[in-house]
Amino acid sequence: MNMRYPFQGGIRSVLAVAMGFVMAFCLAACGNLRSQGGGDDENKEDPVVRALESDDLLSADGALVKNRKGEEVMLRGVNAGGLFVTENWMNGFASSGPTAEIDIRARDFWSISRVFIERFGLEETEKLWAAYQENWWSEVDFENCAAMGMNCIRLPFTYMTVDFDAVESYDNAGDYDFTPLDNFVEKAASYGIYTILDLHGAYGSQNGQDHSGQTFDSAWEVDFYKNSRMIGLTADLWRALADHYKDNPAVAGYDLLNEPGEKAGLTSETHFEVFDVLYDAVREKDKSHMVIFEACWDGKDLPRPEEYGWENCMYSFHHYTSLAEGGQFTEHGQSWNQKIEGVTSQNFGVPIHMGEFNNYNDPEQWTYVLDLLNREGWHWNSWTYKINNTWDNSAWGIYTIPAVNKVNPHTDSYETIVKKFEGLKTTEDIHKVDLDGRTLESIMKEYLTAPTQVPLEARGYIFFDAATNFPFYANGGAPILAPDRNAGQQITVSYHSAGDGTVYLGMAGGYFSVSGRDVRLGEKNTAARFYPVQTEYGYTFISYVTCRYLRLDGQGKLHADGASLDDCAIFTYEW
């Protein structure tokens, strides 16, 4: 077979390769690889929007997600952070109090609500929250998500979203009003967007973090997993939600508990037993929708689904690092490689979802990670859509509102609070986060709509440089571009047994290894791993060690330090 592509455009002379994915999961999932093309693509034509219908209801089929027509669906999008669960650092609130009149510190949704109730009463507090939500997320936000190509929004909510009377006392729990969730799910569906219902805050708080709706100062205060009443109330809520949405194709799945470890602690058997209670509550009413289980934080922190009899489920993970500054690109990429490898090596046999992540203000980090998730066939939702914080150009949101006029729950008048909420609305002049000349919006749009690569047959190939059509050969201790068409040697490709989406490359004389950023030939035990990436001209590779592309220098030698497709090596091949 001969697969040659004419060399075009500004991509430098590069090496080209053919190859498929490694692990069974990745082969089954047909990991998505990005479409090529440089520059900011703000004017890219918006994706076609089709409202979701009954045949769009999703379920897990092994490691794949499919609709009722048997079509595979890759879920990609964003979180609607801040809509139903406030975090003061990213929303329109300042921490305040306590005061002489109100002995409550306003630092999360529950405490802000309690301050509002003390000052304005229950009914007026509900009106305030309705005004906040109407401004934080409106029609234009669904339009923006659809225009970027999103087909899924993860919707964080708490028990208070649908059971607000329980804010005052758990004795009032159980009088549910699903209208806020219904409105979001229905509107998203009209734009062809699925909703993941994500219980960010259970009764009593499953993690004690502010994003659960109620903050505790230490892990010891989080007693959810041994509190039968709180577990029972949460199971009742999931039973009611499952009954309410059981026939709704616009709901992608039920995310049982967000970040379930106490104060960011690890999950273990104690947590799995509670997961099982909530799973059973859902399955009493709904066997059609996927149930989503989250780990804190890695593959080893979830059981195999068959141990508990969990079916039609998805496993979800989050990834955050402190590697937020420029110059830490390789370390950031390696942390992601380790996360992916740690999860996929478990071979759970279910769809895998990256439910929350952020890559900060480094555009290289964003493109590397989104490309990685697509290649590995992971479903994903970034954190988050919009923020209102002290960092004006922060990539924590695709859009950002400068942190001015934040609400002081203890001292601002009712009218002032409403007016400040109006300033949170997404408008045409809202700030789009800029990352060195590209908006995060445009980067998201590129990877949200990336095409799918069909894996290639695993076998030996002869590789050719896409620019010169010359093959590669072993020159001493390095793989190097041949001086003519007849000097090539066959390069064999073998799959890495760990099943993490990487491959070994070998040719006559040894295996590819990476020393510093130079590519050399070594023994099998020194072989380096690479991620295959499809381009419109052929294939290239990203080094697992450096997290950068293979690149050719002026002497035809390979280096693993290409920063982008503009200077990477592109392979074509034949056998």
Q: CATH number, domain at 134?
A: 3.20.20.80
Per DSSP, the residues of 338-392 read HHHHHHHTT---S-EEEEEE--TT-HHHHHHHHHHHHHHT-EEEES-SEEEES-T
Whether residues 182 and 276 fall in one domain: yes
Pair of tokens at residue 79: 């979180």
Residue 419, CB-side half-sphere exposure with 13 Å CA sphere: 8
Summarize pLDDT for 522-554 with one digit per residue, the tens. Answer: 988 899 988 888 888 888 899 999 999 999 999
pTM above 0.85, yes or no: yes
Contact between 363 and 435 under an 8 Å Cβ cutoff? The reply is yes
Whether residues 320 and 435 fall in one domain: yes
Whether residues 439 and 515 fall in one domain: no
Q: Is 394 helix (H, G, I), strand (E, B) or coil?
A: coil
The answer to whether position 78 is within a domain reads yes
What do you get for the CA distance between the two ends of the chain, in Å?
A: 6
Model confidence at 132, pLDDT cuts 50, 70, 90, reads very high
Q: Is 429 helix (H, G, I), strand (E, B) or coil?
A: coil
* End position of a domain, from candidates 425, 448, 471: 448
The number of angstroms, rounded, from the C-alpha of 416 to the middle of its chain's C-alpha atoms is: 36
Which phi and psi angles does 358 have, rounded to 5°? Answer: -150, 150
Whether residues 439 and 465 fall in one domain: no
The answer to whether position 430 is within a domain reads yes
Higher pLDDT, 458 or 566: 566
The answer to whether position 180 is within a domain reads yes
Q: What is the pLDDT of residue 553?
A: 92
Whether residues 427 and 490 fall in one domain: no
Model confidence at 192, pLDDT cuts 50, 70, 90, reads very high
Residue 416, CB-side half-sphere exposure with 13 Å CA sphere: 10
Model confidence at 391, pLDDT cuts 50, 70, 90, reads low
What CATH number should be reported for the domain holding residue 9? 2.80.10.50
Q: Is residue 15 over pLDDT 90?
A: no
Summarize pLDDT for 149-172 with one digit per residue, the tens. Answer: 999 999 999 999 999 999 999 999
Whether residues 470 and 556 fall in one domain: yes
Q: Is residue 454 over pLDDT 70?
A: no
The answer to whether position 27 is within a domain reads no
Q: What is the pLDDT of residue 531?
A: 85
What mean pLDDT comes out for the span 48-73?
A: 95
Q: What is the pLDDT of residue 496?
A: 54
What mean pLDDT comes out for the span 222-229?
A: 98
Q: What is the pLDDT of residue 452?
A: 66
The answer to whether position 43 is within a domain reads no
The answer to whether position 157 is within a domain reads yes
- The domain total for the chain is 2
The answer to whether position 512 is within a domain reads yes
Whether residues 353 and 373 fall in one domain: yes
Pair of tokens at residue 251: 């709901």
Q: What is the pLDDT of residue 268?
A: 97
Whether residues 465 and 429 fall in one domain: no
Show the 3-state SS of 482-536: CCCCCCCCCEEEEECCCCCCCEEEEECCEEEEEECCEEEEECHHHCCEEEEEECC
Whether residues 386 and 256 fall in one domain: yes
- Structural domain that includes position 376: 54-448
Model confidence at 129, pLDDT cuts 50, 70, 90, reads very high
* End position of a domain, from candidates 393, 418, 448: 448
9-13, 231-235, 376-380, 488-492: range with lowest mean pLDDT: 9-13
Higher pLDDT, 173 or 511: 173
Q: Is residue 244 over pLDDT 80?
A: yes
Please state, rounded to an integer, the average pLDDT across all residues of the chain.
88
Contact between 568 and 36 under an 8 Å Cβ cutoff? The reply is no
Amino acid identity, residue 549?
A: Y
Q: What is the pLDDT of residue 466?
A: 87
Which of 293, 202, 198, 212 is CA-nearest to residue 251?
Answer: 198
Whether residues 360 and 465 fall in one domain: no
What mean pLDDT comes out for the span 18-39?
A: 29
* End position of a domain, from candidates 448, 479, 513: 448
What mean pLDDT comes out for the span 457-468?
A: 79
Q: Is residue 43 over pLDDT 60?
A: no
Whether residues 389 and 273 fall in one domain: yes
Q: Is 270 helix (H, G, I), strand (E, B) or coil?
A: helix
The answer to whether position 29 is within a domain reads no
- With 0-12 / 13-18 / 19 or more C-beta atoms within 10 angstroms meaning exposed / middle / buried, residue 178 is middle
Whether residues 300 and 248 fall in one domain: yes
What mean pLDDT comes out for the span 367-381?
A: 93
Q: What is the pLDDT of residue 273?
A: 98
Contact between 14 and 540 under an 8 Å Cβ cutoff? The reply is yes
